[in-house]
């Protein structure tokens, strides 16, 4: 075996965090250790060559290129999944389910397509681990992905020189475990790309699920190539059913795709999701001077606990809200504004009894959040978008519904004060945690020795109304381009 000083090593041991890391996460100039011989490794990075770790000269370490590629790739994959960053995964057309989509790909001689990770893992709250044990077996996975309930969502296996062992594959198939076997390749200065060698038990790749209408977030590069004209007509017919039923239903026959450059609305979809991925909710009322600095802490637990001010939400076993009333009210207002309404039922005494709102996700599935007494009957439901915070009396701050009323000189009809039971707010956040990522916005007052919660940061849920408006505008712009701009002339015209 040759000297290992000539091997480009793509992973190392970081003693500071007591963990292996990929070259993409390493810092130039910092000392790392070789996982094989524990000699000092350093990151080498240049303007033209791929970054890598290197041994001192004349090292006799037995690490191989195959070992380096295998470990580097699986560490890189886990790190990208944890950071919720894109991973390039290509599917050879030959191994896709046999249906009309595969036939269309084959006809156009397209050998590979890329499928984003969210196609396999739509849930943002996922735990990813290297060398994770597969429950109920003696096997381990190169990377394993589980939800907060510890259910296995995906097993990732890296193929360098050896395929999945037959006994292991048989066990995965017999127990219905979803898995992907990936062949890694070095890409760019410090990244990896992957090609699927085999897969099993993936519901999103069953023939009945793998159809054109479900591929809005998959087909991107090909929409700009020679495949565009034929696919785009089929694509628009299907997205039409999801977003804008009547907008272009009678126009497609009058448009000649060969005369116009029809925009790719997949880019618009991706831009919408990126723009609307995160939003923040802040208190508007502060009992004390507002802290100068804030930090974000992932919400892992919330429960109701007795305090000297009555029942109050307690976050992560240590934080209380600076103003539970104001934080609760502003959360409901923000959701009502962002998601086109949060409907509520209250009793005659003004006590909030139930709330409901709806959201949707990147895979175009919808979810309804309904909290409280669903059987409670009342004469009318109120939209919490019209909540108003009244702190004119500092000793009695409260919220009330203030609905527009054209028959009154003031323009608004005031309703009695609305009381928010703390358990309703806690149950709402518990439900929200199952479908979205929530971070607490915490800060410390200058005269306090503990931190309090002043707001929430929500990620991973989207407004159906906002998406429809966004896409309608994109389609209108496309139609204006088609009907009011002449097609480009060619040299033969």
pLDDT at 472: 72
Does position 307 have pLDDT exceeding 60, yes or no? yes
Per-residue pLDDT, averaged over 233-257, amounts to 42
Order of strands across the sheet with 310-315?
302-307, 310-315, 319-320
Number of domains, the chain = 4
Same domain as 217, residue 192: no
Distance in angstroms (rounded) separating the CA atoms of residues 426 and 314: 9
Does position 227 have pLDDT exceeding 90, yes or no? no
Same domain as 28, residue 113: no
Distance in angstroms (rounded) separating the CA atoms of residues 408 and 414: 11
Angle at 133 between CA 129 and CA 136, to 5 degrees: 140
Mean pLDDT, the chain, integer: 78
pLDDT at 144: 94
Separation in Å, CA 278 to CA 274, 284, 315, 425, 461: 8, 19, 20, 20, 8
Same domain as 253, residue 332: no
User: Among 50-54, 87-91, 281-285, 481-485, where is mean pLDDT lowest?
Assistant: 481-485
Does position 302 have pLDDT exceeding 70, yes or no? yes
Rounded to two decimals, the pTM is 0.46
pLDDT at 240: 42
Coil/strand/helix, residue 161: coil
Same domain as 126, residue 42: no
Does residue 320 lie within any of the structural domains?
A: yes
Same domain as 250, residue 356: no
Per-residue pLDDT, averaged over 31-47, amounts to 84
Please indicate whether residue 193 or residue 486 has the higher confidence score (pLDDT). Answer: 193
pLDDT at 101: 67
**Token pair in block for residue 97:** 């389910």
**In angstroms, how far is the first alpha carbon of the chain from the final one?**
66
Please indicate whether residue 345 or residue 195 has the higher confidence score (pLDDT). Answer: 195
pLDDT at 264: 53
Q: What percent of the chain has pLDDT over 70?
A: 75
Same domain as 451, residue 468: no
Q: For the chain, how many residues are written?
A: 493
Same domain as 444, residue 311: yes
Distance in angstroms (rounded) separating the CA atoms of residues 402 and 387: 6
108 class by beta-carbon count within 10 Å (0-12 exposed, 13-18 middle, 19+ buried): middle
Distance in angstroms (rounded) separating the CA atoms of residues 345 and 378: 7
Does residue 77 lie within any of the structural domains?
A: no
Does position 290 have pLDDT exceeding 70, yes or no? yes
**Token pair in block for residue 249:** 């239903």
Does residue 75 lie within any of the structural domains?
A: no
Does position 218 have pLDDT exceeding 60, yes or no? no
Does residue 74 lie within any of the structural domains?
A: no
Distance in angstroms (rounded) separating the CA atoms of residues 196 and 271: 27
Q: What percent of the chain has pLDDT over 90?
A: 22
CB 30 within 8 A of CB 90: no
pLDDT tens digits for 138-171? Answer: 999 999 999 877 889 899 999 998 899 999 999 9
pLDDT at 479: 60
Does residue 70 lie within any of the structural domains?
A: no
Separation in Å, CA 309 to CA 240, 325, 418, 472: 52, 11, 18, 48
pLDDT at 143: 94
Same domain as 171, residue 126: yes
Last residue of a domain, one of 210, 245, 260: 210
pLDDT tens digits for 412-462? Answer: 445 667 787 888 899 999 999 999 999 999 999 877 788 999 999 999 999
Look-up: residue for tokens 């062992």?
165
Per-residue pLDDT, averaged over 63-70, amounts to 82
pLDDT tens digits for 358-370? Answer: 888 877 778 888 8
pLDDT band at 172 (very low <50, low <70, confident <90, very high): very high
Does residue 71 lie within any of the structural domains?
A: no
Please indicate whether residue 103 or residue 479 has the higher confidence score (pLDDT). Answer: 103
pLDDT at 303: 92
> 415, 409, 359, 408: which is closest to 387 by C-alpha?
415
Strand partners, 54: 42
Coil/strand/helix, residue 477: helix
Separation in Å, CA 316 to CA 304, 422, 432: 11, 16, 15
Distance in angstroms (rounded) separating the CA atoms of residues 482 and 465: 26
> 227, 226, 219, 224: which is closest to 269 by C-alpha?
219
Domain span including residue 245: 211-276+464-493
Other Cβ atoms closer than 10 A to 263: 17
Contacts of 225 (CB under 8 A, 6+ apart): none
Same domain as 294, residue 268: no
Same domain as 255, residue 311: no
pLDDT band at 189 (very low <50, low <70, confident <90, very high): confident
Separation in Å, CA 74 to CA 11, 23, 40, 185: 10, 12, 22, 11
Element housing 422 (H / E): helix 422-433
Does position 272 have pLDDT exceeding 70, yes or no? yes
Same domain as 22, residue 170: no
Does position 120 have pLDDT exceeding 60, yes or no? yes
Contacts of 134 (CB under 8 A, 6+ apart): 140, 141, 144, 152, 155, 177
Does residue 69 lie within any of the structural domains?
A: no
């Amino acid at each position: 075996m040759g000297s290992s000083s000539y091997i480009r090593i793509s992973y190392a041991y970081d003693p500071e965090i007591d963990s292996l890391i990929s070259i993409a996460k390493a810092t130039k100039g910092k000392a790392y250790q070789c996982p094989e011989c524990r000699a000092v490794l350093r990151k080498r990075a240049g303007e033209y060559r791929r970054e890598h770790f290197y041994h001192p000269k004349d090292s006799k370490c037995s690490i191989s290129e195959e070992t380096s590629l295998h470990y580097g790739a699986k560490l890189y994959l886990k790190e990208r999944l944890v950071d919720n960053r894109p991973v390039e995964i290509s599917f050879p057309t030959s191994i896709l389910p046999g249906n009309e989509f595969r036939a269309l790909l084959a006809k156009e001689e397209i050998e590979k397509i890329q499928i984003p990770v969210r196609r396999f893992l739509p849930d943002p709250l996922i735990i990813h681990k290297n060398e994770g044990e597969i429950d109920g077996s003696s096997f381990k996975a190169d990377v394993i992905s589980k939800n907060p309930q510890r259910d296995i969502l995906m097993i990732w296996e890296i193929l360098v020189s050896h395929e999945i062992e037959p006994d292991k594959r048989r066990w995965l198939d017999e127990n219905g475990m979803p898995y992907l076997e990936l062949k890694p390749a070095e890409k760019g200065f410090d990244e990896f790309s992957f090609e699927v060698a085999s897969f099993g038990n993936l519901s999103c790749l069953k023939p009945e699920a793998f159809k054109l209408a479900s591929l809005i977030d998959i087909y991107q590069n090909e929409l700009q190539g020679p495949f565009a004209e034929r696919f785009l007509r089929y694509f628009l017919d299907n997205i039409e059913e999801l977003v804008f039923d009547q907008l272009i239903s009678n126009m497609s026959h009058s448009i000649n795709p060969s005369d116009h450059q029809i925009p790719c609305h997949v880019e618009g979809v991706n831009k919408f999701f990126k723009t609307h991925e995160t939003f923040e909710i802040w208190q508007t009322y502060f009992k004390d001077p507002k802290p100068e600095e804030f930090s974000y802490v992932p919400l892992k637990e919330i429960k109701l606990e007795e305090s000297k001010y009555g029942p109050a939400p307690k976050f992560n076993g240590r934080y209380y809200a600076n103003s539970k009333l104001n934080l609760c009210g502003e959360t409901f207002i923000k959701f009502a504004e962002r998601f086109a309404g949060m409907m509520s039922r209250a009793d005659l005494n003004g006590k909030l009894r139930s709330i409901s709102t709806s959201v949707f996700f990147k895979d175009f599935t919808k979810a309804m959040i309904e909290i409280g007494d669903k059987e409670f009957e009342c004469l009318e439901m109120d939209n919490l978008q019209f909540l108003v915070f009244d702190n004119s009396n500092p000793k009695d701050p409260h919220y009330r519904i203030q609905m527009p009323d054209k028959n009154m000189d003031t323009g608004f009809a005031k309703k009695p004060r609305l009381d928010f039971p703390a358990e309703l707010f806690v149950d709402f956040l518990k439900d929200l945690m199952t479908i979205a990522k929530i971070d607490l916005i915490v800060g410390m007052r200058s005269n306090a020795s503990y931190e309090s919660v002043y707001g929430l940061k929500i990620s991973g849920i989207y407004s159906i109304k906002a998406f429809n408006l966004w896409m309608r505008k994109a389609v209108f712009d496309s139609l204006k381009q088609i009907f009011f701009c002449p097609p480009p002339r060619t040299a033969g015209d």
